[in-house]
Chains A and B, each alone.
Chain A
Amino acid sequence: MPTKSNHRGRISRRTRWFAVLGGITLLASACSASGEPSRGTSTVGAPERSWDQIVEEAQGQTVSLWMWGGDTQGNAYVDDVLAPAAEKLGVTLNRVPITDTKDAINRILAEKQAGRTDGSVDLVWVNGDNFRTGQQAGIWLCDWAQDLPSFAFTADNDPLLANDFGTPVNGCESPWHKAQFTFVYDAARVSDPPRTMSDLLDWIRLNPGRFTYPAPPDFTGSVFVREALYASAGGYANVPAEFSQKAYDKVTPRLWDILDDIRESLWRSGQTYPKDTNQLDDLFASGAVDFTMTYGPATLTKRVADGTFPITTTVLILDEGTIGNASFLAIPTTSGNAAGAQVVANLALSPAQQVTKADPGVWGQFTALDVDALPADAALAFAALPTSPVVPRYDVLSRNANPELAAAWVPALDEGWRRNVLAPG
């Protein structure tokens, strides 16, 4: 039947043309949408409104909070304490767990490229190089955080809250908690715990296979490398906070020498490294290594209580102190619920939420507020907090706290570590 087959042939040819046309249209629209954001660095300010107007506008909004989901206590706090409190204020809080904050940044970037104004991310738990990357791409809503009523309870010009890894905060993110990098060991297996970072490096050499750290660019592994950098330079004062190639070339050769030197003494002879802090915690829990480390010592209390970590788990206090920072909640410009997100950020920073969150049985995160300047009842609530059997108080942990380096150091050190320590191994 030649006629019929001809007919079909024509349809299929025409359809093919439609397909090609459709493809071109789709491409063109994709390109035109994505051509727009290359303007880049300009920051978008939140519109000027009174707090009452913001609360009014927030009514009925649903706020998606994207946060690292690897901490069960943190997840429980947001779901069981923060979300119900937000509900009372008329805002539905929806927690979106992610494996890495970079996932949220990528999602926002993609949505910005697509020109969306009702994006799926309304609030992100963020700090450091992720915050800087977002600033670089102009994805954060700015100039709002300092106007939150709760912000009045923070200390004036608190250096941890004014600059995030050297990047000026400029009201583009609202403080959530403070953190202190902490080494943790099992006292049953480490009889003579080191007192300084260089003691620790000696301990590693003397006890082959009993220590390791997550591979940067993992957040925790990256801090470990910065701790080692401070130790190799003889203290943080000898490392310029601002990144420059000259400073990098001056201070890193000694760091790579040291890390390369201990490599053979690491778990599995440094042939591989844990991917992230969870894998390191697993190694510690199963007794494969004697140390773990965390930027959120809050998690330790529960892990010891539920038997994941041995009862002899002990926090290591270094004489020269460790790196401390603050973490924040940021709102992307692609959010369609910015008012609701501000209400949640304000609630999260309120003394009532901060004191609940600081309870080691709830989450145990250190407050971003200035406890000494709080109203009497709130200050009393902080004073009455139960102490953790594992984690010392923040003022003990943060004694001699070292500042973070500027965020530009972070990718440079991560990449340098890959080239000089990981790849040759």
Chain B
Amino acid sequence: MRRPLLLLLPAVIPVAVVLGATLMLGLAQSLGLVPVVGDAKFDASAYRAVIASGDLWPALYVSLAIATAATAIALVVGLATALAVRATRIGGRVLATLAASTIPIPHIIGAAAIGLLLADSGWLPRLLGADDGSWPQLVAGPWWGAVVLEYAWKESAFIALVVVTSMAADAEELSDTAAVLGAGRRARLRHIVLPLAAPALITAGAISFIYALGSFEVPWLLGRAYPEPLPVLAYRLFTSTDLAVRPQALAVAMITVGLCLAVGVAALGLLRRRSVLT
């Protein structure tokens, strides 16, 4: 058990140092210890101000809703893609290549592309002749459709790849055996495939969820003006011409970090409970 840990250290140390230092500095700024203007003081007034402004709860709500919807779609589509990849040889290879090719596209490029495709005057409504107002308001619309779609599209490819590579080779054998013993498609999916894919689904799903919670560029490009998701709120406060609100920006960032950590811990707990059970 020690050897893999030791081998990981060169990768873990820089990450821990850089991330730890920035997080500590962010925390210090959110607590008023590193002001841009004025004197340093240690208190939670930035957190109180963010809560009192009434912007935090809508931000929290919309961020969680976007992350939940996007992750749910990505899990279903990702799992279906993974199963399709495993089911057929040539088609599977094509599908796997397609899924893999979306991975290196940065989210900001994906968001810009989705915007060009789905905006009111975008490519798709023009192609379908729906640029007369009948097109649904996906970009900057009330349901954050384009934002959820962008995350779901990118993350489903990621989830599919993780599930394909992590599902043991004996899944097919087990599946075949079950089929011989008379298990139907649904029974095999429920009792063999899903339990085998579950650890990968939980891990990849948690990563997707945390990413959607913390990323700025997609809701900023494709979202609406109000309410703002947490990262957009933090960015607006951070770039405000009023330098005194900067600790509030860091407070929002720290709250986002806390939320992400909580999701990560919950996912780990879920994984551990599963491994104890099986």
User: Does A389 count as interface, using CB distance less than 8 angstroms?
Assistant: no
Q: Would you call B276 an interface residue if the criterion is a C-beta within 8 Å of the partner chain's C-beta atoms? A: no
Which of B3, B24, B224, B226 gathers the greatest number of chain A CB atoms within 10 Å?
Answer: B226
- Nearest chain A CB to B254 CB, angstrom units: 16
Which residues of chain B are within 8 angstroms of A102 by Cβ–Cβ distance?
239, 241
Is B34 interfacial (CB-CB < 8 Å)? yes
* In contact, B140 and A272 (Cβ under 8 angstroms): yes
In the assembled complex, the Cα of A9 lies from the Cα of B20 at a distance in Å of 23
Knowing A23-B16, A272-B140 are in contact, say whether A31-B28 is a contact too (CB < 8 A): yes
**Roughly how many angstroms separate A2 CA and B62 CA in the complex, as a whole number?**
53
A27 touches B25 (CB 8 A): yes
**Chain A residues whose C-beta falls within 8 Å of the C-beta of B226 in the assembled complex:** 272, 418, 422-423, 425
Residue on B nearest A216 in the bound complex, by CB: B225
Q: Give every chain B residue within 8 A of A195 (Cβ-Cβ).
A: none
Asked whether B236 lies within 8 Å of A217 as measured between CB atoms, the reply is yes
**How many residues of A are in contact with the other chain, CB < 8 A?**
51
Is A40 interfacial (CB-CB < 8 Å)? yes
Closest to A411 in B: B242
In the complex, chain B residues whose CB is within 8 Å of the CB of A407: 241
The complex places the Cα of A210 from the Cα of B2 at a distance, in Å, of 67
Could you say which residues of chain B place their CB within 8 Å of the CB of A129? Answer: 241
Does B17 contact A288, Cβ atoms closer than 8 Å?
no
Question: Would you call A282 an interface residue if the criterion is a C-beta within 8 Å of the partner chain's C-beta atoms?
Answer: yes
Query: Known interface pairs A31-B28, A136-B243. Does A215 touch B37 (Cβ–Cβ under 8 Å)?
Result: no
- Let me know if B88 is at the binding interface, CB within 8 A: no
> Which of A15, A35, A273 is close to B225, meaning CB atoms less than 8 Å apart?
A273
If the complex has contacts A38-B39, A271-B224, are A103 and B239 also in contact, measured as CB distance less than 8 A? yes
Closest to A131 in B: B241
Say yes or no: is B150 at the interface (Cβ < 8 Å to chain A). Answer: no
Beta-carbon contact of B241 and A410 below 8 Å: yes
Residues in B whose Cβ lies below 8 Å from that of A271: 142, 224
A282 lies within 8 A of B37 (CB): no
B35 surroundings in chain A (CB, below 8 A)? 38
Q: Are A272 and B141 in contact (CB under 8 A)?
A: yes
Contact B9–A15 (Cβ < 8 Å) = yes
Complex interface: chain B residues within 8 A of A137 (CB) = 36-37, 243
**Within A182-219, which residues are at the interface with B (CB < 8 Å)?**
215, 217
In the complex, how many angstroms separate the beta carbon of B223 from the nearest chain A beta carbon? Answer: 9
With beta carbons under 8 angstroms apart, the residue of B34, B120, B238 that contacts A31 is B34
Contacts of A411 in B (CB 8 A): 240-242
Residue of A nearest to B10 (CB): A15
- Is residue A5 within 8 Å, beta carbon to beta carbon, of the partner chain? yes
Contact flags A134-149 to B (C-beta < 8 A → 1, else 0): 0011000000000000
**How far, in angstroms, from A283 to B224 measured CA to CA in the complex?**
15
C-alpha gap A271/B227 in the complex (Å): 11
Contact of A35 among B20, B34, B142 (CB under 8 A): B34
Task: Judge whether A305 is part of the interface by a CB distance below 8 angstroms.
Answer: no
Q: Is A226 part of the contact surface with B, judged by Cβ < 8 Å?
A: no
Contact B243 A106 (CB under 8 A): no
Contact indicator per residue, chain A 95-112, by CB within 8 Å of chain B (1) or not (0): 000001011011001000
User: 1/0 contact trace for B2-46 toward A, CB 8 Å?
Assistant: 110110010001001100110011001000001111111000000
A234 to B54, CA, bound (A): 32
Closest Cβ–Cβ distance, residue A152 to chain B (whole Å) = 32
Which B223-254 residues have a C-beta within 8 angstroms of A?
A: 224-227, 236, 238-243
Q: Roughly how many angstroms separate A106 CA and B250 CA in the complex, as a whole number?
A: 14
Contact with B along A1-13 (1 / 0, CB 8 A): 0000100110110
Indicate whether A254 reaches chain B with its CB closer than 8 angstroms.
no
Which of B20, B34, B225 has the most CB atoms of chain A within a 10 A radius of its CB?
Answer: B225
Knowing A106-B239, A268-B137, A411-B241 are in contact, say whether A8-B224 is a contact too (CB < 8 A). no
Chain B positions within 8 Å of A425 at CB level: 226
With A38-B39, A133-B241 known as contacts, the answer to whether A26 contacts B17 (CB < 8 A) is: yes
Q: Is B121 an interface residue (CB 8 A)?
A: yes
- A81 CB–B CB distance under 8 Å: no
Write the nearest CB–CB distance from B246 to chain A, whole angstroms. 9
Find out whether the CB atom of A27 lies under 8 angstroms from the CB atom of B140. no
Question: Could you give 23 example pairs across A and B, Cβ below 8 Å?
Answer: A8-B6, A12-B6, A15-B9, A15-B13, A18-B13, A19-B17, A23-B20, A27-B25, A30-B21, A31-B28, A31-B34, A34-B34, A38-B39, A113-B34, A113-B36, A129-B241, A133-B242, A136-B37, A217-B241, A272-B140, A286-B121, A422-B225, A423-B226
Residues on B facing A (Cβ under 8 Å): 2-3, 5-6, 9, 13, 16-17, 20-21, 24-25, 28, 34-40, 54, 120-121, 131, 137, 140-142, 220, 224-227, 236, 238-243
Additional 20 contacts, C-beta under 8 A, given A31-B28, A103-B239, A133-B242: A12-B2, A22-B17, A23-B21, A27-B20, A27-B24, A34-B34, A37-B36, A38-B39, A40-B36, A40-B37, A105-B241, A109-B36, A215-B225, A217-B241, A272-B142, A272-B226, A275-B220, A283-B121, A288-B121, A411-B240
5 smallest CB-CB distances across A and B, nearest first, come from A286-B121, A272-B224, A129-B241, A102-B239, A215-B225
